[in-house]
Amino acid sequence: MTPDRTTLIASSHRSLAISEKMAPGDSIADSSAVSDAIGVVAKQEIVFDMNAMAVRNGSVISSAMFGSLAASGTLPFEREAYYDVIRKGGKGIEASIRAFDAAYDRTTNGAEPEPTDAADTATPVAALPDSLRDKRANALLTRLRAELPEQAHAMAYLGLQKVVDFQDAAYGAEYLDILRDLTKSDSAANGAKHGFAFTATAAKYLANAMAYDDVIRVARIKTQSARRQRVADEVGLQDGQVLNTTEFMHPRMEEAASTLPAGLANWLKSRKSLYAWLDRRINKGRRVHTYRLTGFLPLHFVGALKVIRRKSLRHKTEVAHRDAWLADASQALARNYDLGIAMLTFRRLIKGYSDTHVRGHSKFDKVMQTAKSIAARDDAAEWAQRLLTSAIKDPSSKDLDGTIMTIESFSST
């Protein structure tokens, strides 16, 4: 690309890279680094959300890019010649021409206000309803109001919904039990003075911890009708068209065993030869067609295992880690209110399952142990936030290790 010759035609919409999705916390790259460079490296730039324009016209992004190419004047062809190319394609001609014309006009006439993407608008905090029709749900709502400080109500209501959807109403009651106990610790640490920020923060990260990613949850999500509708909307499914999705899955024996009751899973792991034999048959990549019976039924069956989830080895492991995490945060709270909150946010490092989950746990353990080692310092909360930031932004852990070395250097003096 050269600033004296190149015409750059591009769509400004974002598709997240795998590295952005896998990293802990918010690791979405800054798009401005690319957009700011365009005006420097290209002579002419034609950049707008061509994907959204194509979808609005029932076509695909290539039609919109083709329209911008025609309007750019870069090639010595008349507009009608481009129409001839589209017609010879023989598929979706009318929709392709609509998208072509829209992009042509947008490129020729300059920017026009584009429809606001709902994803770009801030999601309002959920307001608590006066009551709920379902008796069990209403009982949980009544408990939430009675047992938690008002400052935590909105976040706790969102968390409660997430936890119940993940498992059931009894699990929602457990969520409120834990928050109630944390509120007591918060009050003892003069939480009212701080607006009960510890409880409100716990309401968010506790829900994330309790609604962890396991193979049961993944299978349920992939077979839900809401997910299918979202995919249909994204690809612009038309009447008479058939939607099929192919999922690439690579389960390990570790994930399979973790869904079993704890006793059975531990027995199986103790039989190393049998465990290895099963792993060789399970631990392989496979493509699953979600909306065919051969793919849907196995996924639906795995999703239905949520009824035994709370007896599984994975759940037992998650509960042990959750309780230790909350105990550390509560202990820090008594000495340093801000440090207690910071330790709650360490949960951001844990997400996903399989290798992603293992890497997240490794970073969490490093950050937590280092933060605990400086808990007596007045600036412990600030260093805890630096640790978290380093862990989130650095996939290789070099920045995190550097921050830990810095802390160890002044801790030993």
* Amino acid 133: pLDDT: 86
The amino acid at residue 322 is R
* Amino acid 317: pLDDT: 94
| Residue that terminates a domain, selected from 100, 120, 140 | 120
pTM (whole model) above 0.85: no
What whole-number distance in Å separates Cα of residue 243 and Cα of residue 134?
35
Q: Is residue 281 part of a domain?
A: no
Q: Is residue 249 part of a domain?
A: no
Q: Is residue 268 part of a domain?
A: no
* Amino acid 22: pLDDT: 61
Query: What total number of domains does the chain contain?
Result: 2
Range of the domain at 24: 7-120
Q: Is residue 366 part of a domain?
A: yes
pLDDT along the chain (413 residues), means of 10: 86 79 65 72 86 87 93 91 89 88 90 48 63 90 95 95 95 97 96 95 96 91 90 83 89 90 95 94 90 92 94 95 96 95 94 77 92 92 91 76 85 60
Q: Is residue 86 part of a domain?
A: yes
| Residue that terminates a domain, selected from 74, 105, 120 | 120
* Amino acid 120: pLDDT: 43
176-191 burial, b for 16+ CB within 10 Å, e for fewer?
bebbeebbebbeebeb
Task: Name the residue among 227, 222, 226 with its Cα closest to residue 248.
Answer: 222
Q: Is residue 56 part of a domain?
A: yes
What whole-number distance in Å separates Cα of residue 7 and Cα of residue 43?
6
Q: Is residue 2 part of a domain?
A: no
* Amino acid 41: pLDDT: 76
| Residue that terminates a domain, selected from 64, 91, 120 | 120
In degrees and rounded to multiples of 5, residue 255 shows phi and psi of -70, -40
User: Are the CB atoms for 392 and 24 separated by under 8 Å?
Assistant: yes
